[in-house]
Amino acid sequence: MVTDVVDAGEDDAQGYVILFHGLAANKKIMAFIARGFALQGLRVFVPDLPGHGRTPGPFSYERAASCGDSFVRQMIGRGAVDGKRLILAGHSMGGAIAVKVAAKVPVAGVIAISPAPMVTTHGIEKSMLIFTDPPAVPPHTLVLSGGLEPRSMRDSAKDYLSGENAASGSYEVISLATHAGLLTRANVVAESQRWAAQVLGIDGSVKIPPRLPLVGGVAGLIGIFLLAGPFVREALGKSSLMPETSAAATAQPYDSIAVRKQNISVRVIAEFAALSVVAILILKAWNPFHFVGLFEGDYLAGFLLIVGIGLLAAHFKKIGTLSGSDWKHLLGAAFAAVVVPLLIYSWLDLTLTEAWMTPNRWLRFPVVLLLVLPFHAAEELALGPAMRTRLSKTRLAYALGLRLIMWGVLLIGIVGLHNGEILLALLAPYFALFCLFQRTGMDVVRSSTGSALAAAIFGAILLAGFSVVVFPIS
């Protein structure tokens, strides 16, 4: 496993920390907490688990736990760390792995930050569990939860501290913190430092790492997003309004009732909902898309393919309009859809998280692109023309509403049908932000070119790239 080593540059470390990241995360996301430990004079080892970050796959929950166990044993066996002065720490899935490994390998202590549930209590279904074999809690275990996490997750994390070693552990709730937000909270670093000082017998003063890297990363990302719109328009060329938009643009005044009739169709809403239900039922019985090689990304790609084919069949009379696109517009849309994400991924990889596309991820890109393209084409046909007017806001809201319906059905499949695709539920907030930016860009392409196919290609490339970056390699 590719591993970062973070320390204060001293030859003799006062202790050691092995820090595991969570599902669909990577070692760079753990940098703030790792630097906090390093300020205590501890040497921190942060590996990318299989299929995450720079470490090749395949990934499975069992393989991640097994590799974590082997990693700790080899580090101790080779003398890289002293087990008596070693703390195992982790977030979410990584927190559960830290507890599982520490139950078998004696270490000084454990810090589990919002560890993944391992038992079906507090309303948590078995299909939502990452691991189902909870060990006895290791001695000297600190469990941290976020105050804004669901109560079921907080109660499940608190249950980690049960059994004969519970008296030596501690449970703390970090107020106003979400599951992912725990990784950037100074309170988490402070509590972790105090616990490390207690179990290792070192200086207990709190030293919070500077936040400038986090602030700079977010500021740069905002800057790229602000530049993305003008860049896309330049890539598409400075052509005048296309026929489908020019007539609407000159229609004055705008009639709100006419706008709703033009842009919002009950039939389309019903089609999106019904086909989403059909897709999750098919995938529940049979998922032939495992060849994609992305953990749960194969399910999402298959879901969109089934919905897309159904929508194309429902709107087959409009399919002919896709063939009338100017090849220059298609190339411009594809060029912009590749360049903008690469800029974003490059900046993220330099600052906040490992987001660069490794060769293994590039190999999966064309497959995902082909699977999601039919949906984006069908979505554009169902939405109708885009306009450079205030009507475009109605179209964007309508498109996002249709996607919300689809994600609602996906979540029903996770909770109601127990299909086990828990990662899709965890990533839902990030996909919501992605859909906002993606659909905005697609509308820019459609209104600038008048081409449904150009907008579909633009959106499909964005989604394929986002998927191969976010989902673990399986």
What pLDDT, in 10s, does the model give residues 395-453? 999 999 999 999 999 999 998 888 889 999 999 999 999 999 999 999 999 999 989 99
Q: What is the pLDDT of residue 391?
A: 53
Beta-bridge partner residues of 143: 112, 171
Quote the CA–CA distance of 255 and 232 in Å, as a whole number: 30
d(CA 208, CA 163): 33
Q: Provide the 8-state DSSP code for 294.
A: B
Dihedral angle sign, alpha carbons of residues 404, 410, 416, 418: negative
Could you tell me the pLDDT band of residue 82, with boundaries at 50, 70 and 90?
very high
Q: Cα separation of 61 and 68, whole Å?
A: 11
Instruction: Give 244-264 pLDDT, tens digit per residue.
Output: 544 344 433 434 444 444 456
Calculate mean pLDDT across residues 371-396. 84
User: Which residues have CB under 8 Å from 167's CB, separation 6+?
Assistant: none
Nearest to 149 by CA among 189, 99, 121, 115: 115
Assigned token pair, 27 = 């070692």
Question: Where are the chain's structural domains?
Answer: 3-200, 215-470
Mean pLDDT of the chain: 91
Q: Is the pLDDT of residue 465 over 80?
A: yes
How would residue 303 be classed by pLDDT, with cut points 50, 70 and 90? very high
Condensed to tens digits (0 to 9), the pLDDT of residues 99-131 reads: 999 999 999 999 999 999 999 988 888 888 999
- As a whole number of angstroms, the distance between CA 299 and CA 280 comes to 9
Residue 381 has pLDDT above 90, yes or no: yes
Percent of all residues in the chain with a pLDDT value above 90, rounded to a whole number? 80
**In Å, what is the CA distance from 149 to each residue of 127, 137, 192, 440, 451?**
19, 22, 19, 30, 43
Q: Minimum mean pLDDT among 202-216, 332-346, 376-390, 402-416: which range?
A: 376-390
Strand-pair category, 109-113 with 141-146: parallel
Average pLDDT over residues 193-198: 98
Nearest partner of 458 among 357, 349, 339, judged by Cα: 339
Find out whether 45 and 16 touch, Cβ atoms under 8 Å.
Answer: yes
Structure token pair of residue 125 = 């279904």
Coil, helix or strand at residue 105: coil
Residue 256 confidence (pLDDT): 45
Average pLDDT score over residue span 25-31: 97
The overall longest dimension of the chain from CA atoms, in Å, is 77
Task: Please give the Cα distance from 435 to 372 (Å, whole number).
Answer: 14
Would you say 90 and 113 are in contact if contact means Cβ atoms under 8 Å apart?
yes
- Between CA 305 and CA 301 the distance in angstroms is 6
Query: What backbone phi and psi angles, to 5 degrees, belong to 176?
Result: 55, 35
Phi, psi angle pair for 115, to nearest 5°: -65, 145
Contact 232, 340 (CB under 8 A): yes
Check residue 246 and give its pLDDT. 42
Which segment of 3-12, 167-176, 346-355, 362-371 scores lowest on mean pLDDT? Answer: 3-12
* 385 within 8 A of 442, measured Cβ to Cβ: no
Q: Which residue has the higher pLDDT, 324 or 452?
A: 452
Query: In the structure encoding, which two tokens stand for residue 195, read together?
Result: 């616990």
pLDDT for the residue 71? 98
The domain 3-200 is placed in CATH, from the list 3.90.1150.10, 3.90.870.10, 3.40.50.1820, 3.30.360.10, at 3.40.50.1820
Check residue 388 and give its pLDDT: 55
Q: What average pLDDT does range 449-459 have in this prediction?
A: 95
